[in-house]
C-alpha cells in the first residue's frame, strides 16, 4: 500500500514538473472575461480555441498583452467568477465590461476608464414592439414596472431617475427578456449597445425612446485588477491612454458590432449616424 502511494506521488510530481517546464517559455497574461455579452465579449462560433473569443474587450486585452510583450490567454468564466478569480490572483486581470462602482473600487484595483462606443455612454429602456416609442418621458413611465439587472449600473440609474417606477431586479439579460415578454415588467433598462444587440435578434422588442442621463463617471468601463498589482495597474493605464490617443476604441467597437451582426452606428470620425 505504502509503495503504491509512493509511486503515485512520484508520478504526480513528475507530471507537475513537466507541466511546469512546458509553460515557462513566454510570459503569459491571463485575462478573465465572461463571453456572453455581445458586443463587448462573446464567442464567434465559426472559430475554435482562443480565436473564438471576440468583441471589444477581447481586442483591448490583445492590445494590452501586445504592449506588455506578453502572450494573451483568455480565461472564460461567468461574470461572478471573473471577480473571484481576480480577487484570488488566479488571473492577472479581468476585462469584462465592468462599470465603476464604489464597492469594486474598495476591493479591487480599477484602471482608468475606457470607452466602448455607445455601450455605456448611453443607457436606455427597451420594451415590447407594440409599446415602441410609448414611454419617452419620465412622466409616461410613472407607475410602471421597470426591470434592471442586479448590482448593475442600470439598477442604480433606475433608482435615481425613475423614482415613481416599481423596480424589478433580474439575474441576467436573458431571463430579463423572458420576463419582459411575460409581462413581469413593462420596460427593461439596458446599455444601448446591449439593447441594439437584443433588438437586432428579437423582432418583438423595440426601443422605448427613453434615455437615462448618464453621469460622466458611469460612461466608461474599467479593467479589474488585484488589489496588490499596483505596478500592472499603472502600466494598463498607460496603455489605455495610448489606445485612446490612437483612436483605437471606435475601430474595435465597430469591428465587434459587425461581428455580432449589429448595424454600425458610428462613422470613422466617431460621429453617430442617424
Partner 1 sequence: MNFATIGSNIVKLLSQYWKVFLIEGLSNTLLLTVIAVSLGALLGALVAILKMSRFKVIRFLISIYIEVIRGTPILLQLYIFVFALPSLLPFLNLSYFTWTAIALCINSSAYVSEVFRSGIQAVDKGQTEAARSLGLSAGQTMRKIILPQAIRNILPALGNEFIMILKETSLASTFFVGDLMTSYLTVKGATYLGFECLIIVGMIYLCVTFPLSKLVSWFEKKMANPNYKKHDHKRKRAVMEGGKV
Distance of closest approach, residue 261 Cβ to partner 1, in angstroms: 8
Cα–Cα separations (whole angstroms), residue 206 to 35, 119, 132, 135: 24, 17, 5, 11
The stretch near partner 1 (CB under 8 A) out of 71-79, 143-151, 157-165, 223-231 is 71-79
Contact flags string 15-54 toward partner 1, x per CB under 8 A: xxx-xx-xx-----------xxxx---xxxx---------
Q: Which is nearer to partner 1, 17 or 241 (CB)?
A: 17
- Does 214 sit near partner 1 (CB under 8 A)? no
Q: Which is nearer to partner 1, 42 or 212 (CB)?
A: 42
Distance of closest approach, residue 92 Cβ to partner 1, in angstroms: 14
- Does 78 sit near partner 1 (CB under 8 A)? yes
Q: What is the size of the binding site for partner 1 (CB under 8 A)? A: 44
Q: Which residue is it, cell 458611469?
A: 218
Phi, psi (deg, nearest 5) at residue 83: -65, -40
The stretch near partner 1 (CB under 8 A) out of 113-121, 151-159, 201-209, 223-231 is 201-209
Q: Which is nearer to partner 1, 113 or 192 (CB)?
A: 192
Q: Which is nearer to partner 1, 86 or 223 (CB)?
A: 86
Dig out the grid coordinates for 27 from the structure: 510570459
Rounded CA-CA distance 258/268 in Å is 14
Rounded CA-CA distance 9/37 in Å is 43
- Does 203 sit near partner 1 (CB under 8 A)? yes
Of the residues 72, 125, 173, 206, which one makes contact with partner 1 according to CB under 8 A? 173
The stretch near partner 1 (CB under 8 A) out of 77-85, 141-149, 227-235, 240-248 is 77-85
Q: Which residue is it, cell 492590445?
A: 63
Q: Which is nearer to partner 1, 179 or 237 (CB)?
A: 179
Q: Which is nearer to partner 1, 4 or 269 (CB)?
A: 4
Give the gyration radius of the chain's Cα atoms: 21
Q: Interface residues with partner 1 (CB under 8 A)?
A: 12-13, 15-17, 19-20, 22-23, 35-38, 42-45, 75-78, 80-81, 84-85, 88-90, 173-175, 177-178, 181-182, 194, 197-198, 200-204, 260
Amino acid at each position: 500500500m505504502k509503495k503504491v502511494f509512493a509511486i503515485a506521488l512520484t508520478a504526480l510530481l513528475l507530471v507537475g514538473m513537466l507541466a511546469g517546464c512546458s509553460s515557462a517559455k513566454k510570459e503569459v497574461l491571463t485575462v478573465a472575461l465572461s463571453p456572453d455579452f455581445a458586443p463587448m465579449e462573446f464567442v464567434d462560433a465559426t472559430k475554435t480555441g482562443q480565436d473564438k473569443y471576440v468583441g471589444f474587450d477581447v481586442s483591448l486585452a490583445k492590445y494590452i498583452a501586445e504592449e506588455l510583450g506578453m502572450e494573451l490567454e483568455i480565461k472564460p468564466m461567468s461574470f461572478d467568477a471573473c471577480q473571484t478569480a481576480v480577487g484570488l490572483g488566479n488571473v492577472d486581470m479581468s476585462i469584462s465590461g465592468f462599470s465603476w462602482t464604489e464597492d469594486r473600487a474598495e476591493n479591487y484595483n480599477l484602471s482608468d476608464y475606457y470607452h466602448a462606443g455607445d455601450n455605456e455612454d448611453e443607457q436606455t429602456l427597451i420594451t415590447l414592439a407594440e409599446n415602441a416609442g410609448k414611454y419617452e418621458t419620465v412622466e409616461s413611465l410613472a407607475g410602471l414596472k421597470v426591470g434592471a439587472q442586479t448590482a448593475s449600473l442600470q439598477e442604480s440609474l433606475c433608482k435615481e431617475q425613475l423614482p415613481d417606477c416599481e423596480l424589478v431586479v433580474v439575474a441576467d439579460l436573458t431571463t430579463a427578456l423572458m420576463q419582459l415578454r411575460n409581462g413581469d415588467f413593462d420596460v427593461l433598462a439596458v446599455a444601448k449597445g446591449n439593447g441594439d444587440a437584443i433588438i437586432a435578434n428579437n423582432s418583438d422588442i423595440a426601443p422605448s425612446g427613453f434615455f437615462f442621463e448618464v453621469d460622466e463617471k458611469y460612461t466608461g468601463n474599467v479593467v479589474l485588477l488585484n488589489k496588490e498589482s499596483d505596478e500592472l495597474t499603472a502600466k494598463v493605464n498607460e496603455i489605455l491612454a495610448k489606445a485612446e490617443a490612437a483612436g483605437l476604441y471606435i475601430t474595435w467597437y465597430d469591428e465587434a458590432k459587425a461581428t455580432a451582426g449589429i448595424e454600425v452606428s458610428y462613422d470613422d470620425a466617431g460621429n453617430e449616424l442617424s
